[in-house]
Amino acid sequence: MGPAGVQEIGTTALRVLGMTHQLGYFNILPLSMLLLAATPGFLALASRSRAPLLAVSVSIWAIAGWNNINIPDFPTDGTWVLNPFSWQLIYCIGLRAGISAKRGETFVG
């Protein structure tokens, strides 16, 4: 294997670790990992009041949608099928519902 082959293996390994290597639109696991990694930030937003959690989440969702922001994938030249900037809104709604239920409050309270 020549230097080009070693470089290609290194590039592929970095893209796997960077969660951009998508095999057959299989990015549900990387999406879950990103959302779980972002959970402490989401909880920090929700710790004082739950309103900022949804305000920030809706803002991220809207900005990503309007500007077509997504994470590129590899080996194709496309983007993730499950856009984490969009799916985080559903995750945050569920997080807010869980926090409300645990506190014995209504979702809008």
Residue 108 resides in a domain: no
Peptide bond before residue 75 is cis, with ω within 30 degrees of 0: yes
Q: Which domain holds residue 26?
A: 3-103
- Judge whether 109 lies within some domain: no
Q: Is residue 77 part of a domain?
A: yes
Q: Percent of the chain scored above 90 by pLDDT?
A: 39
Please check the confidence at residue 95 and state whether its pLDDT lies above 90: yes
Q: Whole-model pTM?
A: 0.75
With a CB cutoff of 8 Å and minimum separation 6, the contacts of 82 are: 27, 28, 31
Q: Which one, of 17, 22, 14, 3, lies nearest residue 73 by Cα?
A: 22
Residue 1: pLDDT over 90: no
Angstrom distances, CA of residue 38 to CA of 88, 92, 100: 9, 10, 19
Structural domains counted in the chain: 1
Q: Cα–chain-centroid distance for residue 76? A: 20
pLDDT band at residue 71 using 50, 70 and 90 as cut-offs:
confident
Q: How far is the C-alpha of 3 from the C-alpha of 102, rounded, in Å?
A: 56
- Report yes or no on 28 lying in a domain: yes
Average pLDDT over residues 11-15: 73
Domain annotation covers residue 78 = yes
Q: Is 2 left (phi over 0), alpha (psi -120 to 50) or beta?
A: beta
For residue 56, what pLDDT band results from cuts at 50, 70 and 90?
very high
